[in-house]
Structure 1
Amino acid sequence: MNNPFTISFGMLPQKLISRPAQTNEIIDAFTSDQAPTHTFMITGVRGSGKTVMMTEICNVLRNRKDWTVLELNPEKDVLKSLASKLYNLDTLKHLFSNAGISVSSMGFGFTIDNTPVDDYEVIVERMLKVLKKHHKHLLLAVDEAVNNPYIREFAHAFQIYLRQDYDIFLLMTGLYENLYELQNEKSLTFLYRAPKVFLEPLSFDMIAESYSAVFDQEPSVSVEMAKLTGGYAFAYQVLGYLKWERKPAEIKNLLPEFDHYLADYVYDKIWYGLTEKERLILHTIVKKAGSQYARSMKIRDATGITKNAYGVYRDRLVHKGVVDGRLYGQLRLALPGFERFIQKKELYA
């Protein structure tokens, strides 16, 4: 049997822990007779399982009658890609052809009723009209959305399609800072109003049960492993992967390699995406409390950051999934072993 865990981002692992409540919330909303929303945005820290959740939802709807699911690359011309992918689906091409939509004889661009059309917003709209006529629903999935010209152009067009009552749905994933920047574009207020799904840590119980189902070990060992992951989805995969490959006598023997994978694959990217003040706050939390809660007053005193400014930085770090602010007036690191990562940064600074 192959290793059921994976350290590759974007792949659907053989062994995973689903989030049925949030997944079903999105599926139920999209498939309702009167859909309450046509857009959902999934956000969370790197490695929290955004892509996995999106993939699960896409797979469910892909198997539903009269649903078409397309995944779009946010770094390419999204509208052009959408038109091309839609037209080339074997299940739909004959419907488009019968409606007068075709690719030009030269193989470049589209024609509608034998007239060349180079406006992809218009082409997609004509295709959506065909889909609606045949009672077909379209889900568009954009993984790791960013605020770039392609996404803005696509979002503007999507907003128009919604007003015209087409059966089109949008599922986006992205880091908090990227989605925040995108939704605050003045002309994209529908994204600001779109429901957000924030991926919280996984349940320790579910992680322990998952490990026990794979490894022949005492329940206490599975509990120890679950605690080491901190509920962080990528850490759950890494620790399971290492346990399968190394078969250590004790879990603590995996810690150096566990930390190395987290640093290389995720923590370095998170760290260099933070501002200087945000890093200062994290350094201070580690100095004051290690992996435990530190009082906000002590953090402010040590950093010299004013109360108002501190509130802004605190909220950013919480939304980015880097710190846990659930206890009033206190903060702690939200990621497993992140205090060791920060200590090493200080050591080699």
Structure 2
Amino acid sequence: MNNPFNPSFGRIPEIFLNRGQLIDEVTDELENPNSPYKISIVYGTRGVGKTTFLTEVGRKIKEKDNWIVVNLAMESNLLATLIDNLYINSSSKLKKILQSIDGLSFSAFGLELSTQIKHTLSTYQGILTQMLSQLRKEGIKVLITIDEVKSTKELKNFASYYQLLNREDFPVALMMTGLPENISELQNEDVMTFLLRGKRIALSSLNLSQIEYSYQTVFNAGNYEIAPNILHKMAIMTKGYSYAFQLLGYLVWNGAKDKKVINQEIIDKIMPEYLLELDQNAYTKIFDSLSKQDKNFLYAMAQSDKNHVQIKEIREKLQRPSNFVANYRRRLLDDQVIQATSYGEVAFILPYFKDYVLKQYQFEQELE
């Protein structure tokens, strides 16, 4: 049995913890034309499982006979790619109907326009409207997914067109994923303000009991011997972070494959690589995206000897007024770097992120 864990970003792992209840809620809501989920934004920090969630929703919707699912990539011409994929994912009957649109034909290479038709934004919008009108007559609904959105000219053009579809009540749903800071940037764009009316889906930490059970199931299937206390420790080591779940499982599987025994010795053996991979593949990118004042807040927070840190203590270390500290607390909560644990207290969400922040603070002090 090959290692079933996959810590690679952007790929759907063989073993993952399904947010089943939330996925079912979203797919059921998409059947309702008045549902807020018609426009939905899945957001969370790097490695939290946004792509997996989007893929699972798309897979479940695709199983329905009256739906077409189109997955768009940010790097593409979104409108042209949407036209091609609507045709490719249509049934034979629907393909014939779409081929009947004047001046429009498809080949193995995608959309072909008559020589008298120019490749312009308005042309693509006109073609899409005709295609979607035909699909609506046939009772077909469309789900468009876009992973890791950013503010680009292409996305703005697409968003403007989607607003028109929404006004004319086309049965076209839009689901996007993105990092918290990119989603905030989109919603501050004039053409994107309609996104504020959409449903925001924040992916939170995974359930630790579910992680423990999943590790037990997978390692038992691979004929590994692992004690309950080690299973519990591994779950705690992930703190519910989806990427950490994959990474730790992957490293432990490989580290114990010779004797098929997972014990404290194996955990100690893989620990340096586990921390290094978290730092290099996730934490450096997360930390670099923060502002200087965000980082100062985290530096002050990390220097506390408590896991649950009082805002009062952070304010005293920063020597800043309450409204200043409250602003950066809110920013870091939105970015899913910290969490509120009780009134007036916060804690780090990600495993060993406090250690990473302290290390960055030490580097900064030594370089001054």
1:240 aligns with 2:249: yes
Q: Deviations over 1:232-261 (max 9, x none)?
A: 111011110011010154123322111111
Contact 2:103 2:117 in 1 (8 A): no
CA–CA separation in structure 2 for the residues paired with 1:104 and 1:323: 50
The residue matched to 1:42 in structure 2 has which SS? strand
Q: Deviations over 1:174-198 (max 9, x none)?
A: 0111111112323333210101111
Once structures 1 and 2 are overlaid, which stretch shifts more, 322-331 or 91-100? 91-100
Aligned to 2:98: 96
Partner AA of 1:55 in structure 2: T
Partner AA of 1:142 in structure 2: I
Equivalent of residue 284 in structure 1, options 285, 296, 300: 300
Aligned to 1:39: 39
CA–CA separation in structure 2 for the residues paired with 1:285 and 1:27: 39
Equivalent of residue 337 in structure 1, options 352, 355, 363: 352
Equivalences, count: 346
Q: Deviations over 1:96-121 (max 9, x none)?
A: 1123352489x896548x96253211
Once structures 1 and 2 are overlaid, which stretch shifts more, 240-249 or 268-277? 240-249
5 Å-filtered alignment, 1:102-113, equals 102-103=104-105, 110-111=112-113
CA–CA separation in structure 2 for the residues paired with 1:212 and 1:104: 50
Using the size of structure 2 for normalisation, the TM-score is 0.88
Contact 2:159 2:191 in 1 (8 A): no
The residue matched to 2:70 in structure 1 has which SS? strand
5 Å-filtered alignment, 1:205-216, equals 205-215=209-219, 216=225
Q: Deviations over 1:112-169 (max 9, x none)?
A: 8x96253211111111111101111111100001111111111111111011111111
- Give how far 1:44 is off: 0.8
Once structures 1 and 2 are overlaid, which stretch shifts more, 15-24 or 266-275? 15-24
CA–CA separation in structure 1 for the residues paired with 2:287 and 2:30: 36
Aligned to 1:260: 276
Q: 1:96–1:217: structure 2 CA closer, same or farther, 3 Å change rule?
A: same
1:174 aligns with 2:178: yes
Q: 1:342–1:34: structure 2 CA closer, same or farther, 3 Å change rule?
A: closer
Aligned to 1:125: 129
Q: Deviations over 1:45-73 (max 9, x none)?
A: 11010000001111111121121111111
Contact 1:143 1:172 in 2 (8 A): yes
Aligned to 2:150: 146
Equivalent of residue 196 in structure 2, options 189, 192, 200: 192
Partner AA of 2:75 in structure 1: E
CA–CA separation in structure 1 for the residues paired with 2:209 and 2:288: 32
Aligned to 1:59: 59
Contact 2:68 2:89 in 1 (8 A): no
Contact 2:150 2:186 in 1 (8 A): yes
Contact 1:26 1:40 in 2 (8 A): no
Partner AA of 2:65 in structure 1: K
Unaligned runs of 5+ in 2: 220-224, 257-261
Q: 1:336–1:186: structure 2 CA closer, same or farther, 3 Å change rule?
A: same
- Give how far 1:218 is off: 1.7
Q: Deviations over 1:254-287 (max 9, x none)?
A: 2211111111110000011000111111111111
Using the size of structure 1 for normalisation, the TM-score is 0.93
5 Å-filtered alignment, 1:284-303, equals 284-289=300-305, 292-303=307-318
Q: 1:302–1:261: structure 2 CA closer, same or farther, 3 Å change rule?
A: same
Q: Percent identity?
A: 30
- Give how far 1:36 is off: 4.9
CA–CA separation in structure 1 for the residues paired with 2:95 and 2:137: 14
5 Å-filtered alignment, 1:224-239, equals 224-239=233-248
CA–CA separation in structure 1 for the residues paired with 2:35 and 2:204: 25
Contact 1:41 1:195 in 2 (8 A): yes
CA–CA separation in structure 2 for the residues paired with 1:36 and 1:304: 43
- Give how far 1:35 is off: 4.2
